[in-house]
A and B are shown apart, each in its own frame.
Chain A
Amino acid sequence: MWSYEKRLEYPVDIKNPNPALAKVIISQLGGPHGELGASMRYLHQRYSMPYGEVRGTLTDVGTEELAHMEIISAILYQLTKGMSIKEIKDSGFDTYFVDHTAGIYPQFASGTPFSAETFASTGDVIADLSEDLAAEQKARLSYDNILRMVDDPEVRDPIRFLREREIVHFQRFGEALSLVNEKLDSKNFYAFNPAFDCQKPRRRR
């Protein structure tokens, strides 16, 4: 189960509204490489994993991604608080504003709403961990793209933190995959799926 600790994982203090930045940064909330999707991917994949170390990694990274989702939301909140109607119109934020005002709603930068279609949970140990490695790189590249477009140091700072975390998570999933390979048949990693083929038969009544 989850607790909430009343603080951000990393500080966010943005003094100047800028809805133009919010328009792109929102993709890291509800977009294809965003934190909400990352969290849901890992938290859903963990159940079928047979190894405690992998269950632990997926649980803890999935939980940290919720904290990242919160950081992105704080960034968006501070970028749109007190924005003027002129800023809304000039930035193109008007199409979001009409339905969400300065509220926070998880969507892609393109406006597509958040969807579970952005992640998979296959119940196959190797497929799931391989997807997780790719997911972290996709998140990292999106942060790289955001950094290309943002000059405000108060916005760049938490974004750089989040980008670094993606790289660390990539390392962690790599280690989890190595650990799994060590436990499998070295002559054929695909001989069986340890998430499904090693179970004790369940009694049927």
Chain B
Amino acid sequence: MNSRAMLLKRLQVCDFVLTEVGLFLDTHPNDKEALAYYHKYLALKQETQTEFTRRFGTVSRYEPKNSDTWDWVDNPWPWDNSEG
């Protein structure tokens, strides 16, 4: 796995924790432990997303890599395999 794939995987893991804990919180909105876990991973996801964006380009329209380009449209898109 190259470094882009490795960092992307870390970002996907963070996202996934938020998805999973979020679903639990939907039916347990007052669970303090789950809330703390969610917020911990929210911070981690933000950090990971910022690093990924800086090194490999925009992955969120609300966090563009810079304001001189619209690299949002650049390949690869998520459904491309590692051979591009």
Closest to A104 in B: B79
Residues of B within 8 A of A (CB): 5, 8-9, 11-12, 15-16, 19-20, 22-24, 26-27, 29, 58-62, 72, 77-79, 81-83
- Indicate if the CB atoms of B79 and A6 lie closer than 8 Å: no
Number of A-B residue pairs, CB cutoff 8 Å, is: 74
Cα(A175)–Cα(B54), bound, Å: 40
Question: Taking each of B27, B59, B77, which has the highest tally of chain A beta carbons within 10 Å of its own beta carbon?
Answer: B27
Closest to A51 in B: B27
Residues of B within 8 A of A7 (CB): 8, 11-12, 15, 59, 78
Residues of A within 8 A of B79 (CB): 8, 12, 70, 73-74, 77-78
Interface size in chain A (residues, C-beta < 8 A): 31
Contact with B along A60-101 (1 / 0, CB 8 A): 110010000010011001100100000000000000000000
If A3-B61, A3-B62, A64-B19 touch, whether A8 touches B78 (CB-CB below 8 Å) is: yes
Residues of A within 8 A of B19 (CB): 9, 60, 64
- Indicate if the CB atoms of B23 and A57 lie closer than 8 Å: yes
**Measured between C-beta atoms, what is the minimum distance from A8 to chain B in Å?**
5
- Indicate if the CB atoms of B59 and A53 lie closer than 8 Å: no
Q: When A and B form their complex, which 8 residue pairs have the shortest distance between CB atoms, in order from nearest?
A: A74-B79, A56-B26, A175-B27, A57-B26, A6-B59, A8-B78, A78-B81, A13-B81
